[in-house]
Amino acid sequence: MVYNELINQEMFFLLAGPCVIEGEEMALNIAEHVKKVTDRLGIPYVFKGSFKKANRSRLDSFTGIGDEKALKILAKVRAEFGIPVVTDIHTERDAEMAAEYVDVLQIPAFLCRQTDLLVAAAKTGKIVNIKKGQFLSPESMKFAVDKVRESGDDRVMVTERGTTFGYQDLIVDYRGISIMQQACQCPVVVDVTHSLQQPNQASGVTGGQPALIETIAKAGIAVGADGIFIETHADPSCAKSDGANMLRLDLIEGLLERLVRIREAIR
C-alpha cells in the first residue's frame, strides 16, 4: 500500500533523514520535525536512515552503532510516527535482515549492477529503491529495474544522485529524470544532497556544496521528478557521515514550502 500512496498523488514525495542512525533520540527528533512539516504541506514522507555505512573511504570512519540496534530504531520511528522507513543494504544477508524492520530497501549507487543484491532485495517483497551509479547512463537503469521486476517485485523506483565529473565532483544531468521515467516506467527520485558530494578528497573525507541544495532541489521538481531525497541533521558539522553535504534540519521547512509552490506551478 505504501508504494501506491507514493506514486498515486499529485505532490512529490520525500525521502529524508540522517545519513546514518547515530542514536535513537536523534532519529526520533528528525522524524518528528520532518513529519510535522510534511503533514502540513501534504507531502508523502518516508524516513531515511542507514543502519550501517559499508562504503567508507577510511578504515577509521564511523560505520554505525550496531546493525540490530539501528534497525530497531528504524522500526521504532515507523511505529511511533506511522511513517514508512528506508535503509541501505549492501549484501544479500542485509536484504533479509533489514526487511524485517523497514518498508523500502535502498541499493547504493556503487552496487546498482550487483545482480545477486537486486534479486535478494526483490525476493523480500519490499519496495526497492535503486540509486543510479555515478558511472551509468540514465538509459542503463532499465536493466537494473528489470532484474527486480523479473525476480517478482514490481514495486521499484530509481534515484538520480549525480554523475562523476572529473575525479572530485559530480554533476546532475536533468535530462536523465525524464529518460529514466520513460525507460524504467517507475518513479524517479532526485537525491539532492548526494548529488552535491565532492568525493575522493585527499583527506579521505568526502566534501560537499550544501549551499546549492536549494538549486538542485528546485531544478529536480521543475523537470518533473516524482520524489526528492534529502539527508538532514540538526547540526551537520557534527554528523558522523556526509555532514559536508547535508541540509540543516531547521532549513527543511522553508525549502519544502518553496518546492511545493514550484510543483503547484508546473502542475
Chunked into runs of 10 residues, the chain (267 residues) has average pLDDT values of 80 96 97 98 97 80 89 98 97 97 97 98 98 97 98 97 91 97 97 85 66 96 97 91 87 98 93
**Nearest alpha carbon to residue 74 among 97, 105, 51, 91:** 51
Is the four-CA dihedral 103, 71, 99, 131 of positive or negative sign? positive
Q: What pLDDT is recorded for position 206?
A: 65
**Nearest alpha carbon to residue 87 among 186, 156, 21:** 21
Q: What pLDDT is recorded for position 221?
A: 98
Helices (H) and strands (E) in the chain, counts: 9, 13
**Nearest alpha carbon to residue 54 among 24, 87, 11:** 87
Q: What pLDDT is recorded for position 239?
A: 86
The continuous run of DSSP H or E covering 122 comes out as: helix 115-123
Is the four-CA dihedral 157, 107, 204, 247 of positive or negative sign? positive
Domains and CATH numbers, the chain: 2-266 (3.20.20.70)
CA distances from 73 to 44, 97, 181 (A): 21, 14, 33
Q: What pLDDT is recorded for position 259?
A: 98
